[in-house]
Structure 1
Amino acid sequence: GGRFYLAETFLGLAEASKPLIPVLTLENLTVYPAPAELPEAQPTWTRESQMTHVAVVSDRLYEAYGESRIAVLRNPVNGREARVALQTVESPILAPYRGRRAKVVQRLRGDEAILLDRTYRDFLLVKTREQVSLTLYRTGG
């Protein structure tokens, strides 16, 4: 099946034809809802987040994403995939969340969890506490 992009313009048509080279894949990330303080579009973070929703991951994953710039979530149960923009759990805007949800934050920092908003959860047909995989790609060629 083809990939679904919440924002087709994110890749640019020219770039979309380049092969994608997987950089890193994490299986079995437990899904938790994205916190209320996370705006769905925060243009100051990354240019693509004006168009896409964001998923929250560990600082380590966020740094790897900074180099690769392409992140794809996959629901292993149904094979559905969605491209996502990533944000670090260490972001200042998430300080209240870190204070409230220490256990989930610990799992995020250990690369065991991911925070997804309803748009992604609905598209991937994944529920809270179910698992997804995340692959980071870079473009080749």
Structure 2
Amino acid sequence: MKKFIEEFKSFALRGNVMDMAVGVIIGGAFSGIVTSLTDNFINPILNFLTGHAKYNAQDIAGFASAFVSAVINFLIMALILFCLMKGINKFLSFGQKKEEPAAPATKVCPFCKSEIAVDAVRCPHCTSELSE
């Protein structure tokens, strides 16, 4: 049972699954913006142009505030997801050691500025003797 839980944990917290989950949540939040844009701007404009409705300044302000509210809701959702993913990534990195950079395999010749092997005692390009 312990191995099953470990396998499930590694599957669920794998990058592709987490990316897909974030994409679905952001997509759902973005659909609120699209719905608000349609309900509060496009439909009233079409109704006004076809003569089915008459709008005053209060109606237009209400439409604009509803759209701004949907955009703010989306931004709040995105911020919460960002903080959540940042926390999950930090939690997952607790047990991992930081990789140290590999030692360089080449160096620069001080005379001709060509790239040479680290352990070279003579530059193959300018044949200068290296004291390092």
* Band the TM-score falls in, shorter-chain normalisation: under 0.3
TM-score (norm 1): 0.17
**Higher Cα radius of gyration:** 2
Greater relative CO (CA pairs within 8 A, separation 6+): 1
TM-score (norm 2): 0.18
